[in-house]
């Protein structure tokens, strides 16, 4: 367990890394006694620093939703991080690669809450009832620390969240079977990845149910209007200046961005 000062120092180091685009040594090496509780506390201090600087929190991302990624991180559950208004892009955006350290793209669905939702014992049907609509989304993941990383490094580093892109067709959660949303991701005209949304814990709303149950003992919940990135159903694809990205969600439309 870290002291309050160590937590503040760790959060400031991550904030500096994000601003300077220079990765720092893994926190798990700097602070060998760091726990999951410490890691989320560091993440929270980082988020508050951004809010104090004028940013507005608009949502939450869920990561490590696939079993393969959990095994790679030696953890048995997902993790989560914050989304600020400064992290949101729209379809057609020209995204500056220099804003990130080593950006990669993942294909996801975003849920926008139509009402507050909290645990305990929330289930998929509770998430579906509380969701106003679902929309295609991309997540840009980024690392502010060196690799390889332990789970505490990832969590403290805002669950690797860098930014997100929203676009395509907005649907209400019961208008389609959202377990079977498929997508292909093409980079520079070549399909690099494809997947289906059921790969996210069997149902893309399952991670959101996990999230609100996880937040409940901490006094947290999801609020009306909040955006929740439900987790990737493709492997991450590296992006660099000059790349064009086209993600086809079939009946749900597409998202297209350029990397500059």
Model pLDDT, residue 73: 58
Q: What's the confidence (pLDDT) of residue 71? A: 62
pLDDT at 64: 82
CA distance 58 to 210: 19
Token code pair at residue 231: 């987790």
Q: Is 65 left (phi over 0), alpha (psi -120 to 50) or beta?
A: alpha
> Across residues 149-163, what is the average pLDDT?
95
pLDDT at 67: 65
Cβ–Cβ contacts within 10 Å for residue 44, how many?
A: 15
**Cβ atoms of 91 and 255 closer than 8 Å:** yes
Mean pLDDT confidence for 212-227: 96
Q: Which of 19, 92, 15, 61 is nearest to 246 (CA)?
A: 92
- Which residues does residue 238 pair with via DSSP β-bridges, in sequence order? 104
Average predicted confidence (pLDDT) for the chain: 95
Domains contained in the chain, CATH given: 4-259 (3.90.850.10)
Mean pLDDT computed over 175-183: 96
Left (φ > 0), alpha (ψ -120 to 50) or beta: where does 111 sit?
Answer: beta
3-state secondary structure of 251: helix
Q: Read off the pLDDT of residues 8-56 as tens digits, 9 standing for 90 and up.
A: 999 999 999 999 999 999 999 999 999 999 999 999 999 999 999 999 9
CA atoms of 228 and 83, how far apart (whole Å): 9
74: confidence class by pLDDT, cuts 50, 70, 90: low
- The span from the CA of 173 to the CA of 110, in Å, is 11
């Amino acid at each position: 367990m870290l002291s309050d000062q160590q937590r503040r120092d760790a959060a400031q180091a991550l904030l500096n890394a994000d601003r300077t685009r220079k990765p720092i040594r893994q926190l798990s090496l700097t602070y060998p006694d760091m726990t999951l509780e410490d890691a989320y506390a560091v993440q929270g201090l980082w988020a508050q620093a951004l809010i104090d600087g004028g940013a507005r929190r608009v949502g939450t991302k869920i990561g490590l939703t696939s079993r393969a990624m959990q095994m790679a991180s030696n953890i048995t559950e997902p993790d989560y991080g914050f989304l600020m208004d400064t992290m949101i892009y729209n379809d057609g955006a020209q995204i500056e690669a220099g804003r990130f350290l080593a950006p990669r793209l993942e294909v996801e669905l975003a849920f926008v809450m139509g009402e507050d939702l909290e645990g305990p014992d929330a289930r998929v049907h509770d998430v579906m009832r509380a969701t106003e609509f679902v929309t295609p989304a991309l997540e840009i993941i980024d690392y502010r620390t060196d690799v390889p990383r332990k789970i505490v490094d990832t969590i403290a580093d805002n669950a690797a969240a860098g930014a997100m892109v929203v676009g395509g067709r907005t649907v209400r959660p019961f208008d389609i079977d959202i377990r079977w949303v498929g997508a292909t991701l093409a980079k520079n005209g070549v399909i690099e990845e494809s997947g289906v949304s059921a790969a996210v814990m069997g149902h893309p709303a399952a991670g959101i149910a996990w999230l609100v149950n996880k937040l409940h003992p901490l006094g947290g919940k999801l609020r009306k209007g909040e955006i929740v990135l439900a987790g990737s159903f493709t492997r991450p694809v590296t992006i660099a200046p000059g790349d064009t990205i086209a993600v086809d969600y079939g009946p749900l439309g597409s998202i297209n961005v350029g990397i500059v």
